[in-house]
Amino acid sequence: MIRFNLKCEQDHAFESWFQSGEAYDKLVAAGMVSCATCGSTKVSKTVMAPAVSTSRAVTAPARPQEAAIAALREKVESTSDYVGKSFAKEARDMHDGIAPARSIYGEANLQEAKKLVEDGVPVVPLPFMPKKKTN
């Protein structure tokens, strides 16, 4: 069986299945293929892409945004210390001069994050979960 995309003289598009390409040719020549919309028998094939299947899985390329997030993650994780749930305390201690300044990343709940921002502690939410947090 083969499926063809078809079009009539009125430009109505439709599709139909045939036993073979030869069967399509014979049926059209005999006027037995008609438009599903207007009934016209002046029908022709339109361009169609073949249905192709492969036996191997195809991986879709990463979208630019995903690639940018992956690059950011790599940069943050390679140049910063992961401090986990003590992020708010560590960031505040560095801001207050109690601890030496360094680049850190970790986790804070919403209340902790809001308080840091209100107090002028420079923090930025990251668009990913730390790898140390994921399995």
Question: Tens of pLDDT along 17-37?
Answer: 888 888 889 988 988 888 878
Name, in order, each residue with C-beta under 8 angstroms of 103's C-beta and a sequence gap of 6 or more.
79, 80, 81
DSSP assigned state of 6: E
Please, are residues 30 and 65 in contact by the beta-carbon 8 Å criterion? no
Q: Angle CA(103)–CA(105)–CA(106) in degrees, nearest 5?
A: 150
pLDDT band at 52 (very low <50, low <70, confident <90, very high): low
pLDDT band at 2 (very low <50, low <70, confident <90, very high): confident
| Strand, coil or helix: 120 | coil
Residue whose tokens read 């040719």: 25
| Strand, coil or helix: 74 | helix
pTM of the model: 0.51
**What average pLDDT does this structure show over 31-49?**
85
The pLDDT value recorded for residue 118 is: 92
